[in-house]
Chain A
Amino acid sequence: MWSYDKILQYPIKIKTPNPGLATKIISQYGGPDGELAASLRYLSQRFSMVTPEAIATLNDIGTEELAHLEMIGTMVHQLMKNATVEEIESSGAGAYYTDHGRGVYPQAASGTPFTAAFLQVKGDPIVDLTEDLAAEQKARGTYEWLINQTDDPDVLEPLKFLREREVVHYQRFGEALRKVQDYLQEPRLFIMPKPDFLRSNELNR
């Protein structure tokens, strides 16, 4: 169950439309290393995770990724909404406009639609957390390549915020992995002393 706050995690107020940039930023919405894939990955892996700390980490970060999804959708919307068709065409966003107009559709920058093939749930806690560490690094890398492609501070500031969140999430998944490693290495041999009523039976025999 979730509760929703009608507020973005970080404010987004883009004054200058830039449809070309919108069709690149869309990759963090529905692309291979995007926020939708991240959210579904963590929220799905949660069910087979072990230790309360690691389960809570997946739940919390999976939830935060939904807030990031909303931020990215807002950015794409604001970059597209006041652009003229001529601006859309000349900026190279014509292909996107043909299929989705000024809407926000979960796809990669390349145009590949979102697919669950972007993520994995192996059901093994070490495997899943190791994938999550990689996913955070890939998302950080994507944000850096996006930051390289714009000078608009209205776009840069939210992108930098989201990039730093990936760094923090990496640390948290790393700590969750440590907890899980320790838990899986704990000895699980329990020695139960034989109860007295069983012992007396042995003596009587």
Chain B
Amino acid sequence: MSDNNGQINSSNALELLLEEASLKGTYRMKRYPGKKFFGYFCSYFPEELIIAAGFEPLRLLPDSENSTPAELPGYCCSLAKGTLDMEIRKQYYDLIGIGFTHTCDTMQCLSGVWSACGQTKTVDIVPPVMLNAPGAFSYYLAETKNLMMTLSSLTQTAIKESSILEAIKLCAHTRSLVTEIDNLRSILPSPLVFSILRAGQLMPRVEYVKALEECLPDLKEMSSKNLHQVKILVSSAVLESDSLFAMIEELGGRVVADDTCTGYRHYSGNTVWGSVNPLTDIVQRYSEMPPCPCKNRSLNERIHHLTTLAKHRNAQGAIIIIRKFCEPHAWDAVSLAESLREKGIRTLTLELEGASVGGQERTRLQAFLEGLLESPDL
């Protein structure tokens, strides 16, 4: 992972990021023996507090799309089934705890199922669903304070304000570096960018930042710009592999805008600091970040945000992924597709069992992208 001087060079840094993205947190104890990891599921779980408590945030991703733990019915998403199966197989024995955020109904239920049949300690935070509702901010702040106390109890040490501030700054720096990469999407291969972003949710944060800083200048120099590639916006829930992005690229597309839970949406939005109470800054960030379909800031804010993003990035097409049994994204898919089409952006809605794409998806993606490539308007 490092050269003789203990410094990582650009090539090694990129290699490290890609390796971490593909390992998805496995071998973490071997690779980072001194670190304590805390698992979480959703971007609304404030990673600043995990870091301030002295832990490394680890996004939990399934190692299989075909797991069928007896505790969940078949009509449940493969993210929930796969991760619960890993818990039952004791894949998370080393984690300090696992954080659940109330976002979708499945996550809400998974928390209860997990605490009933798993071994790892579960920690809940229930953010408001209506982020702009009267009283939502105060409520969210109190929930965040409770979370901080629960995390403190895991180490028997109070989390210091200075630690929170440091964590906020570290997260802000991470987000700023990731935003630089997000802005390079048109010149970088889509699966590469997606992998780099996913790595940031799976490896120790300081190491991630170092690796990003190291490889960013070379990434800026990298030019794979292909004028004939179709610019695409992708919207989806969690995607634990690059399979979709690789196929889009292979078929002549380039993902220029990424609204996926494990992609840029995880990092998007402003990070603020400087308030008397740093928890206020954390709540402000999570209340104001571009919402996922489980949250509501106003009726059409998410749709407006995505149509604007697509226009801003000159997207010629949009691919909306519905992960099987993922209800919030399935609900938004219809209105989002209509709005994108009204803006002149051709849209394909694709249902996937997990994160991987196969022959059936290839046929649909190929037809969609070929249609765009051959369109006289584009």
> Do they bind each other?
no
